[in-house]
Structure 1
């Protein structure tokens, strides 16, 4: 089958590269709806930040016999969500946009919710729900992009793979811990002593 793509000659490539140079990596060959992609990337950024904050809270709030290993798992996931946020913000800038870190708008744009959880099982379940939301969101975003933005698509595919690992880890944790637990309460503060 014949490839319908026509390769540009070197002179044309050089001329096009000089046009709209202020747009950086975004050339005339960019085929996606950049405004829509930037909005979706900012929504994904908000989702990653909200997930990072929820995981970090859970890291500090875990108590009980299973606390050490699960606390470490929550912290590792929080750090990976922050890495995802950084990658998304970097891609937003590459596409000529501005990453939206506004605290007032994060929860409104985030696909996942910030749920504190009462018990350890609640925390694991809420994180698992959030990961499942992220998985579906990233899959849909990847499908939306199709072949119109291969760089963003590869970035999202790499993030999706980690989100699937997180969901698998959390499902394993949920299976391993008792479901009936006492609510997680902070330790008494030093002022009360």
Structure 2
């Protein structure tokens, strides 16, 4: 039994629909929702690029040199993710949505500047955690029906998890109020049932 059941029909379709590029008849998902989902991820990545770049330029304090270097590297990696997403959207016959108002509206994470070095780290960590959860959902959505998009999102997800781990480590080394010393990761509004005094004393 031949692996390809009807190669002649496939050849004919390839010629008839040449303008479709990489998109073929056997694509198992509805293309329009896929393009919307990928554009949401694209907006999220560009929001992260902007936030990381801002933090890179505005980082100050005793720890700022090493932390700013981390911000810069993360910004470059988020830009690479955005490029991958835009290319995939184009492959599927869609249009990468790069208008600033669209990016602001569709990004999963928010543009939060932060008021101190530690606050910047915290806002970036929150954004990474949001991306991790939503990108995992995307991976499950693509599953075996769009393995190219799934593998791409798995690679992006792995890098976001790495970013989150690095930022969490930085929070152990930076005192949120004074930018000095060290403390545990959690903030008073993130540990239900514990007062700020109890946390500082722990």
Alignment TM-score > 0.5, same fold: yes
Bigger mean CA offset, 12-21 vs 172-181:
12-21
- Give the structure 2 partner of residue 74 of structure 1: 71
2:108 maps to 1:111: yes
Residue of 121, 126, 131 corresponding to 1:129: 126
- Give the structure 1 partner of residue 85 of structure 2: 88
SS of equivalent residue, structure 1 residue 148:
coil
Structure 1 residue 74, shift from structure 2 partner: 0.1
Structure 1 residue 123, shift from structure 2 partner: 0.5
SS of equivalent residue, structure 2 residue 113:
coil
- Give the structure 1 partner of residue 35 of structure 2: 38
The answer for unaligned runs of 5 or more in structure 2 is: 180-202
- Give the structure 2 partner of residue 53 of structure 1: 50
Structure 1 residue 179, shift from structure 2 partner: 2.0
Structure 1 residue 16, shift from structure 2 partner: 2.4
2:138 maps to 1:141: yes
Q: How many residues align?
A: 177
Distance of 1:11 and 1:43 partners within structure 2: 38
Distance of 1:119 and 1:36 partners within structure 2: 39
Query: Structure 1 length normalisation: TM-score?
Result: 0.89
Distance of 1:145 and 1:84 partners within structure 2: 17
Structure 1 residue 106, shift from structure 2 partner: 1.1
2:157 maps to 1:160: yes
Summarize deviations over 1:13-33 as a string: whole Å, max 9, x none: 212222311111000110111
Distance of 1:130 and 1:8 partners within structure 2: 47
- Give the structure 1 partner of residue 5 of structure 2: 8
Structure with the larger RCO, 1 or 2 (CA within 8 Å, 6+ apart)? 1
- Give the structure 2 partner of residue 24 of structure 1: 21
Could you list the runs of 4 or more consecutive aligned residues of structure 1 that deviate by over 3 angstroms after TM superposition?
none
Structure 1 residue 105, shift from structure 2 partner: 1.7
Structure 1 residue 96, shift from structure 2 partner: 0.3
Cα RMSD of the aligned pairs, angstroms, is 1.1
